Amino acid sequence: MTVPVLLFASLRSKHGDCVPVELPANATVGALKSVLRSQGIWVDGARVAVNRAFATDEHTIEQRDEVAVIPPVSGG
């Protein structure tokens, strides 16, 4: 399945608003993170949100889920 992954902050600046990620059916957030790392679309400390709630690595991603990667941010 192809899952559109929304990006924010520094990841958005580098890779755009959204990237399509190909995942097997019943893939977990942990599997998504592995794919993103292999594509260079991950930063340490980032969190994955599924349907607007932070998700654990064991959370299963469904075809119609809204998935977002939110890197750590700081302000001044």
What is residue 76's predicted lDDT score, i.e. its pLDDT? 61
CATH number of the CATH domain containing 52:
3.10.20.30
Domain count, the chain: 1
pLDDT band for 74, please (50, 70, 90 cuts). Answer: low
Q: Over the stretch 7-60, which tens digit does the pLDDT of each residue have? A: 999 999 999 999 999 999 999 999 999 999 999 999 999 999 999 999 999 999
Residue 76 counted as domain residue = no
- pTM for the predicted model, two decimal places: 0.92
pLDDT at 75 over 90: no
What is residue 54's predicted lDDT score, i.e. its pLDDT? 98
Query: Burial code of 16-50, b = ≥16 C-beta within 10 A, e = fewer?
Result: eeebebebeeebbbebbbebbeeeebbeeebebbb
Residue 40 counted as domain residue = yes
Residue 75 counted as domain residue = no
Residue ranges making up the domain that contains 41:
2-70
Gyration radius (Cα) of the chain, Å: 12
Residue whose C-alpha is closest to residue 45's, from 70, 67, 66 = 70
Residue 35 counted as domain residue = yes
